[in-house]
Chains A and B, each alone.
Chain A
């Protein structure tokens, strides 16, 4: 504690007067909310279980049902082509949880309580997105295991693989802020979920995540090539399987950083103004 903080002996919460104390408290508030959200995840094991089962179903579906009919070319077998796509699709779908979680907090009045507390205005959202980032770390670890079980064999070594995972997690974090914005704009959690799908489906399926872009009609190919999910998937593929890396990684990082510049301030603004 520094001199800028005074803890009252009788009543009320301590007050921050300096910028340093404010920043420190914003971080501590974020960690407190993160912890709360992580505890909540462990208290609903069913949700965690099915959140894990769903992406595994996608792996099995595309690996064994659709995979035989899809030929990525360039001498890459389909399971290797598929897994980076599944990673990104999984974390993108997982971002719905951010919007549902916030919509629930709003609905249940928890956000009313948070807003009457002397905590940082950004902490409720930052705590939610950080908890979702932690969950995504778990998810990619599980998915890596599942991938290896169904024959996924990255070819470039450990470091590029980890770089790819890092890129996916960062992208997922940026997406979470966008879905936080949706959650804060929805009247309830059911609607938050429904509002998320029209955004997610084109992003994940009109992309190079599951099928080569060459198979798509030309009017769709333009969108599908340059939209962020495709860009991140392609960057991860090149990191994990080899190929021209820097161009796609640069684009993926640019997308992610761009989203992180735009979305968090928008979401915090929505949090402040939502009545």
Chain B
């Protein structure tokens, strides 16, 4: 299958008060008609990669092709084929939704009559028909984000770039957004999305690359990443400090993996989830130990990320090349597993 996006050894350093190596030799390919996820924490280089691919920024070295066209040398051609919906809802809040779409359509040099029809179509599709004639100032965050995405679609791009499409959205709006993105892929659009939400990458992306400090540290399908990074984790919480060491040695006996102790929580990787869990329960019972929590947890992408980088996905300080505009949305991490978070000591 031909590639819609080919990135080969792209490097980008920002000079400033301190030099920041935003991309340190990044390569990846995206097949046509698929969703590709760039997953990583703030400052890992995701936005820089998108800005290079959308011709906004020039790479220091390496090559980046969109539909076979070099983004640096054939920028105008690339711009006519792509759509970009940004992290910061880049729409004009003084204009109405319809006016915003019309403006983007006209700047894509589409005929006026076509643009008017397309704007109506998109407003309907994105559930904005009622608010199409209101200034964006009156829109909610979710509506604004949908309009931003609609604006990126006015010219029916072949390749769509979504830079953190749901950052800062409430769960309901995020879900709506996911459905919209899924429907686009059904229409054959190639999508590259960046996200720091593991759940989002898991749900939307066919393949993904994990970025950390400007390098690809893992790639593949979400399923492959999960299976590469190990099996199910059994986690036992205890009431009494005295039970911790005994529990650790009991859990050590059920399989080849060594348990980790974090305070009064002991966890161990298990190969035969439920079977091992039953054995663990039996031996705890025989030893007279009653756990306060007993969790069998499928590996999440978060575990994968932790295993790959040694830190969770919340790190970073906006060294992404983009100014630190609005970081409010980064706190609600949808990708976190429900169970007790394991401190960094749980590094396997």
Contact = CB atoms under 8 A, between A and B. Distances in A.
Chain B: interface secondary structure? loop
A5 B325 CA distance: 39
B107 A117 contact: yes
B158 interface: yes
A110 B100 CA distance: 11
Contact of B56 (A15, A33, A44, A116): A116
Interface stretch (B90-98, B244-252, B253-261): B90-98
A39 B157 CA distance: 27
Nearest to A124: B107
Given A114-B107, A115-B55, A116-B56, A44 B94 contact: yes
Contacts of B135: 43
A12 interface: yes
Given A12-B155, A12-B158, A118-B108, A110 B91 contact: yes
A109 B88 contact: yes
A108 B107 contact: no
Interface residues of A, number: 35
A109 B325 contact: yes
Interface stretch (B72-80, B201-209, B339-347): B72-80
A115 B108 contact: no
> Which residue, A14, A109, A119, has most C-beta atoms of chain B within 10 A?
A109
Nearest to A110: B90
Contacts of A275: 14, 57, 321
Given A36-B92, A113-B151, A275-B321, A16 B157 contact: no
A25 interface: yes
A55 B13 CA distance: 47
A32 interface: yes
A1 to B, nearest CB: 8
Interface in B55-106: 55-57, 76-77, 79-82, 84, 86-95, 99, 103-104, 106
> Which residue, A11, A33, A35, A40, has most C-beta atoms of chain B within 10 A?
A11
Contacts of A117: 79, 104, 107-108
A12 B104 CA distance: 13
Contacts of A115: 54-56
Contact of B107 (A5, A12, A32): A32
A44 B54 CA distance: 32
Nearest to A21: B109
A32 B110 CA distance: 12
Give the size range of B's interface with the partner: 35 or more
Given A40-B95, A107-B325, A116-B82, A13 B90 contact: no
Nearest to B99: A39
Contacts of B120: none
B156 interface: yes
B79 A113 contact: no
Nearest to A24: B109
B54 A116 contact: yes
B312 to A, nearest CB: 27
B111 interface: yes
A15 B86 contact: no
A109 B88 CA distance: 6
A13 B156 CA distance: 8
Interface string B144-184: 00000001000111100100000000000000000000000
A7 B110 contact: yes
B86 A32 contact: no
B156 A11 contact: yes
Given A39-B95, A109-B325, A15 B76 contact: yes
Given A36-B92, A39-B95, A109-B325, A13 B84 contact: no
B130 interface: no
B325 A43 contact: no
Given A113-B91, A113-B104, 18 more contacts: A13-B108, A13-B110, A15-B76, A32-B107, A33-B107, A35-B103, A36-B95, A109-B87, A110-B91, A112-B56, A112-B86, A113-B84, A113-B90, A115-B54, A116-B55, A118-B108, A118-B109, A119-B108
18 contacts: A7-B110, A12-B80, A12-B155, A13-B155, A14-B108, A14-B109, A15-B77, A16-B76, A40-B92, A108-B88, A108-B93, A112-B84, A112-B88, A113-B104, A116-B79, A116-B84, A118-B107, A187-B323
